[in-house]
Amino acid sequence: MPRERRRVSRRPTAAAWLATALGALGTVAAAALVGGKGYVVASVLMVLWCMVPFFASFEQRRPSARELVVIAVMAALAVASRAAFLWVPHFKPMAAVVMVAGIGLGASSGFMVGSLAALVSNFIFGQGPWTPWQMLAFGLCGFAFGALADRDVVPRSHWTARQRVAVALGGGAFVVLVAGPVLDTSSVFLMLSRLTPEGVAAVYLAGLPVNALHGTATAATLLLAGSPLLGKLDRVRRKHGVGAGLPPTPTPSLRYDGQMSRGAPHEEGGALEIAVARPAHLDALVALAERAQAAMADLGIDQWQSGYPNRTTWEADVAAGRAYVALDEEGVAGVLCYCPGPEAAYEALDGAWVAEGPYAALHRCAVDPRRRGRGIVGQLFAFACAKAVEDGMASVRIDTHADNAPMRRAVEKAGFAPCGTITLTEGPEAGTTRLAFEKPLAS
């Protein structure tokens, strides 16, 4: 059953914005009355008030523990990028890392990454009344570019060469025109005892070369490392269902209703569906098998290299109702065949099975090579095990070629134990040996 989407009221965020406006006006008024060092205190209070809506918006989403871990990692990476260039004054790539985090995780998470990175990195560079201003400035970097990604202005996956240049120029310009002046505003309050037009103009003009250098560092980092970093973050985002547009990852157990099951969030916010294959899927299954055959040939794996499985194989599987496809928004992402035993090859095992009793065998399991690394095969295995439990099976069995290291890792990761070897008795690969695995099922 699909998970019911939680509805969250927007009223707390509106209240936070109202509180911010009132708080900022109050601190400015107090500073005008007090004067002198009161400006410093007022500036700190004002910027803290300004960050309230961003933190409230983030908290309102109730992010999962997985997302919090990713945010912490991105914040740590941003801190490291700033510390690594400690020896180069004002040339810091931290804003670029924060922008990538905002693009990949969303506006509110991007603000959290930026503000946390500024706060933590100042334990290295020095804390002071400027810290809240830096938290706001770098937080805005993540928030702004996250908002652009939320509106599909900036892609959340790998960028083309033209997109890299555009994002790099936009990032550099944002630092020069927005983040830099926010940081300069802190200098206005810290350096001037009384605000005058001449003094304010002098501070902003003095900060322009610094902002230009900071913007250059940001643009260079986005141009050279932005897309690779975003690719890694996008893979984590898709695999674990974290970030903007993706609902929280459901529990690992999959429920089978005889036709379809929903797995973890996948592919641009959609859920991965596991459904009984239909004739309409035949062309996609043939194409997927051909890509899998080519990938195994590239790895030197002598499996599926004799014209098997072919269209006739898939037609038989679909007609028998034993083929199940993993569907994302692009189409068929993976497939496996669920076959209740017994099977002749498994009855002549050279070794020992773990469990006794009825079993289901899994065959022709494949994932589109272009979609690997997203946990699809694990969801297919989990689906098959859940179905086997409902079918009253004692275990699930599977076999693969000894040289097929990727499938062996996936099988063992899913909890299957090696049991020995079998000799295939049917099809073009009859007479060849395979490694056999079994996973006992809880009764």
- What is the Cα–Cα distance from 304 to 258, expressed in whole angstroms? 30
Q: Is 363's pLDDT higher than 80? A: yes
* Residue 183: HSE in the Cβ half-sphere, 13 Å Cα cutoff: 27
**Taking 70 as the threshold, does the pLDDT of residue 371 lie above it?**
yes
**CA angle at 7 for the pair 23 and 75, rounded to the nearest 5°:** 60
Alpha-carbon gap, residue 279 to 437, rounded angstroms: 30
Q: Which residue has the higher pLDDT, 9 or 68?
A: 68
pLDDT digits (tens, 9 = 90+) for 46-67: 555 556 666 666 666 676 777 7
Query: Which tens digits make up the pLDDT trace of 149-185?
Result: 888 788 877 678 888 899 999 999 999 999 888 888 8
CATH 3.40.630.30 maps onto the chain at 260-440
Q: Is there a contact between 272 and 376 (Cβ–Cβ < 8 Å)?
A: yes
- The pLDDT value recorded for residue 86 is 81
Give the torsion sign (CA, 154, 6, 272, 113): positive
| DSSP state, residue 398 | E
Where, residue-wise, is CATH 1.10.1760.20 in the chain? 11-240
The confidence band for 104, taking pLDDT boundaries of 50, 70 and 90, is confident
User: What distance, in Å, lies between the first and last C-alpha atoms of the chain?
Assistant: 23
Q: How far apart are CA 22 and CA 376, in angstroms?
A: 50
Q: Average per-residue pLDDT in the chain?
A: 79
The CATH code that applies to domain 260-440 is 3.40.630.30
Query: pLDDT tens digits for 34-44?
Result: 544 555 555 55
Q: Does the pLDDT of residue 17 top 60, yes or no? A: no
- The fold adopted by the segment(s) 11-240 is Arp2/3 complex 21 kDa subunit ARPC3 (1.10.1760)
pLDDT, position 244: 56
pLDDT of residue 159: 79
| Amino acid type, 339 | C
Residue 112 to residues 52, 67, 81, 103, 298, Cα–Cα distance (Å): 12, 11, 17, 13, 43
The answer to whether residue 73 scores a pLDDT higher than 70 is yes
pLDDT for 43 equals 53
- The pTM (predicted TM-score) of the whole model is 0.52
What is the edge-to-edge ordering of all strands in the sheet holding 359-367? Answer: 260-266, 270-276, 323-328, 331-340, 359-367, 395-400, 433-440, 417-423, 350-351
